[in-house]
Amino acid sequence: MKKINFKKYIPHFIILLASILISIPIFKMNLSSTNEFRIHIGRIVAISKLIKNNIFPALISNNNMNGFGYALNIFYGPITTYIPMLLSYKSIASTGIQLFTLISIIASGYAMYFYTLKITKNKIAATCSALMYILLPYKLTNIYSRNALGEYSASIFLPLLLNGLYELTEGNPKKAYLIAISAIGLILSHTITTIYVSIFSIIYLIAFYKKLNLNKIKILLINILITILVTSFYWIPLMEYKASSKYAIFSENIMNTTGSDVYENTTNFDSLFENEINYKDRDGNSYPTLALGIISVTLLLFSIICYNKVEKNLKMIYILFIIFTAISLWMTTKLFPWQIMPNFMTVIQFAWRMLGFYILFGSIICGINASILYQNKKYNGDILVFILILVQLIISCLYVKNYFNSKYKLNAEYNYQKAISQKRISPMSINREYLPVKAFYNIEYINNRTQQPIILSGDASINDFEKNQDTGKSTFKISIIATSEIELPYIYYPSYKITDENNKNIDFTESNKGFIQIKLNKSTNVKIEPRMTKIEEISYIISIIGIIILIINIIISNKKERERACQNQ
Lowest mean per-residue pLDDT among 400-404, 437-441, 474-478: 400-404
Domain 450-532 has CATH 3.30.519: no
**Would you say residue 126 has pLDDT above 70?**
yes
DSSP string across 402-430:
TT--TT--HHHHHHHHHHTTSSS--GGGS
pLDDT tens by residue, 216-234: 999 999 999 999 999 999 9
pLDDT tier, 8 (very low <50, low <70, confident <90, very high otherwise): confident
Task: Compute the distance between CA of residue 132 and CA of residue 109 in angstroms, rounded to an integer.
Answer: 9
Task: Compute the distance between CA of residue 141 and CA of residue 150 in angstroms, rounded to an integer.
Answer: 13
**Residue 380 CB: number of other CB atoms within 10 A?**
12
CA dihedral 89, 93, 99, 103 (to 10 degrees): 90
Task: Compute the distance between CA of residue 447 and CA of residue 296 in angstroms, rounded to an integer.
Answer: 49
pLDDT tier, 402 (very low <50, low <70, confident <90, very high otherwise): confident
pLDDT of residue 4: 64
Q: Which of these, 143, 134, 402, lies nearest to 279 by C-alpha position? A: 402
Task: Compute the distance between CA of residue 425 and CA of residue 287 in angstroms, rounded to an integer.
Answer: 28
The H or E element spanning position 108 is: helix 93-120
For residue 78, how far is the Cα from the chain centroid?
8
- As a whole number of Å, the end-to-end CA separation of the chain is 25
- Higher local confidence (pLDDT), 417 or 196: 196
Is there a contact between 517 and 510 (Cβ–Cβ < 8 Å)?
yes
**Would you say residue 110 has pLDDT above 60?**
yes
Residues paired with 499 in a beta bridge: 505, 527
Per-residue H/E/C for 311-332:
CHHHHHHHHHHHHHHHHHHHHC
pLDDT of residue 377: 78
pLDDT tier, 561 (very low <50, low <70, confident <90, very high otherwise): confident
For residue 70, the SS3 value is strand
For residue 231, the SS3 value is coil
The domains of the chain are located at 11-410, 450-532
Mean pLDDT, the chain, whole residue set: 92
Task: Compute the distance between CA of residue 526 and CA of residue 504 in angstroms, rounded to an integer.
Answer: 10
**Would you say residue 274 has pLDDT above 70?**
yes
pTM of the model: 0.93
Residue 304 sits at the vertex; the CA angle it makes with 301 and 307, to the nearest 5 degrees, is: 120
